[in-house]
Chain A
């Protein structure tokens, strides 16, 4: 039974690199090093695992400025069959609601091109927005059940999805029918290394842009029939009205440095606050 598997991926600035930081501490997204959202690696793994174990094809969908095509190429290298990028200037400053709307229209468009999805995989959240909202908001637009914080899943013979998801202080085992949207927790299996063959194939493809277009399509709002009023700043019910530097708190850190490790540690230990603290702690547990 072949499944039509969609996976949503996003390109995010690499927080580890200092290259794209403005002097005031904000991110210069044009200069920042770009990467596949780390959480999406688990979604990608889930999608590819499903294809391998149960058969079907995987379509990766992304939204972002033109360089975001890089994450679709990366997905292709890992074994994804097709990629779609929604790229449009009018999407700038979209909040999660506007993003979910734009993705919803993209998903509908892609569904017409490659067939309706049986299952959607998303990362739990992105590292730049940090909201974990877009997955469930997309599920709402699509009118689908959702499995968030999914750690593991299997598909039964009756096409039901059996999944384990994280809840507060525990886990839950759930069963649902398809279509369904799944957000994958980072306790799921890490993404396999890309195969040499896959990477090589994509490298070859990149040399022939015409050939590449068969695998990765870029669409804009008009092509997917989206209402531009519901995208970008206009379609976003929230705005960032104000930012302020976070005041330094504390600021009276007692530093210990420049001597041997045992001295540094005993210096800390000899501090009255530490001594008192350890005593209090001990009294409480005694």
Chain B
């Protein structure tokens, strides 16, 4: 088909971002999704809509417009104060059903909340959902497989949900243009928010909240924030991460010691050792863990599989230690040390600790000279 033929297909539906707030605070992933959603909406010449649920949250709406939304839908109700699966699911599903045209694309954050809610919505509408995307795009797709003849055809505007595929150094483009909304989640820290524009114009509309008795089956008794202090991975300047190359759980002691050489540091982990139960999930860096961008990332005994890489490759400076000179991590680290972790790390603790205090003195000297 020529390009002219393609232009006769105009996509149906807009792009929708399901916003996330906790205790009246918009989560960064929402602004990131608006940034990504804006690009998709512009490509299709469609609107970017955003739905926000909570209680006393109307004042958050202008911020969503500043970050790219054309229309913000607000569901404001005391029952929505804290996230609960069933009430949120009810409101979002009812809202989607009330739309004349379902959204073309619906995006959620791949947070504990988004991962709880998105599959419920997708299953309710029997539509496709791709988890933890690292890239999103809009493009054409021609389906030729004859397994299901009803699916054959040329689809000019599909959501490309791109994510690394299992255990492989491959990126998979997943799509499902047969049913709207085409849904995807992305991890916090992956997409890039727009620069907020206070002059951006948009509409703010209220949507109804009508819950059913079965939506009250789960009660939130208590929400405790920040229980695990000291592992705010996404905000750390320095992350020291351990992997299976440590050989044993006790090896993590060294990782913690090394991280203590730095201010504002945190300890990360590869998935393998989280799977093994050596360290809690909250420490996990990578596609199914946290996406981090510290100034310094020290990877100790981490081979550097694609799943780990997508979570940390944007770090300022990456130093990797591994005994295998062919480990994939050396393909994208800035400095690679080939050697035994149990010899290198103690040496680092010795020297990094020293250098830091030296540079500290250096800074002091500069300050006093002024």
Residues of A that sit less than 8 Å from B by CB: 13, 15-16, 21, 25-27, 38-39, 95-97, 100, 124-125, 127-137, 139-141, 143, 145-149, 162, 165-177, 180, 185-187, 190, 233-234, 236-246, 248-258, 261-262, 264-266, 268-269, 271, 273-275, 277-286
Contact = CB atoms under 8 A, between A and B. Distances in A.
A240 B362 CA distance: 55
Contact of B113 (A130, A168, A244): A168
Interface string B340-353: 10011011101110
A248 B281 contact: no
Interface in B224-242: 224-227, 232, 237-238
Contacts of A268: 319, 335, 337
**Chain B interface helix/strand/loop/mixed:** mixed
B351 A262 contact: yes
B288 A125 contact: yes
B199 to A, nearest CB: 31
B262 to A, nearest CB: 7
A281 B306 CA distance: 28
B122 A97 contact: yes
B328 to A, nearest CB: 9
A174 B218 contact: yes
A283 to B, nearest CB: 6
A133 B119 contact: yes
Nearest to A42: B277
Interface of B: 22, 27, 82-83, 85-86, 89, 111-113, 115-120, 122-124, 126-132, 141, 143, 145, 147-148, 161, 164-176, 178-179, 214, 217-227, 232, 237-238, 244, 262-264, 271-272, 274-277, 280-282, 287-288, 295-296, 306-307, 313, 316-317, 319-320, 325, 330-340, 343-344, 346-348, 350-352, 355-356, 359-360, 362-364
A256 B325 CA distance: 10
Given A167-B113, A241-B174, A282-B359, A261 B167 contact: no
A240 B172 contact: yes
B129 A133 contact: yes
Nearest to A137: B123
Given A132-B131, A170-B226, A249-B332, A261 B343 contact: yes
Contacts of A241: 141, 173-175
21 contacts: A128-B167, A130-B287, A131-B129, A132-B131, A140-B120, A149-B112, A167-B223, A172-B220, A173-B223, A177-B217, A185-B281, A187-B282, A234-B148, A246-B164, A246-B169, A248-B332, A250-B334, A264-B337, A269-B351, A271-B335, A286-B360
Q: List the 10 closest A-B pairs by CB distance, nearest first.
A: A257-B338, A238-B128, A237-B128, A140-B123, A136-B119, A170-B225, A131-B131, A285-B263, A238-B176, A176-B218
Contacts of A244: 170-171, 173
Nearest to A22: B168
Given A238-B130, A286-B363, A186 B274 contact: yes
B158 to A, nearest CB: 8
A253 B221 contact: no
B176 to A, nearest CB: 4
Given A149-B112, A281-B237, A242 B217 contact: no
Contact of A243 (B170, B223, B281): B170
B223 A172 contact: yes
Nearest to B167: A15
B293 to A, nearest CB: 14
Given A136-B120, A187-B280, A283-B363, A238 B113 contact: no
B360 A282 contact: yes
B170 A148 contact: no
A14 to B, nearest CB: 9
**Chain A interface helix/strand/loop/mixed:** mixed
A173 B64 CA distance: 30
A241 to B, nearest CB: 5
A130 B334 contact: no
B224 to A, nearest CB: 5
A253 B333 contact: yes
Nearest to A277: B317
Contact of B165 (A167, A172, A243, A271): A243
Contacts of A21: 167
B194 to A, nearest CB: 22
A268 B313 CA distance: 19
Contact of A280 (B148, B263, B295): B295
Contacts of B244: 16
A86 B355 CA distance: 60
A74 to B, nearest CB: 16
Given A38-B275, A249-B332, A285-B263, A133 B131 contact: yes
Contact of B331 (A139, A240, A253, A265): A253
A279 B172 CA distance: 40
B166 A166 contact: no
A120 B198 CA distance: 48
A173 B280 contact: no
B117 to A, nearest CB: 8
A190 B280 CA distance: 12
Nearest to A177: B217
B337 A265 contact: yes
Given A170-B224, A170-B227, A242-B172, A284 B237 contact: yes
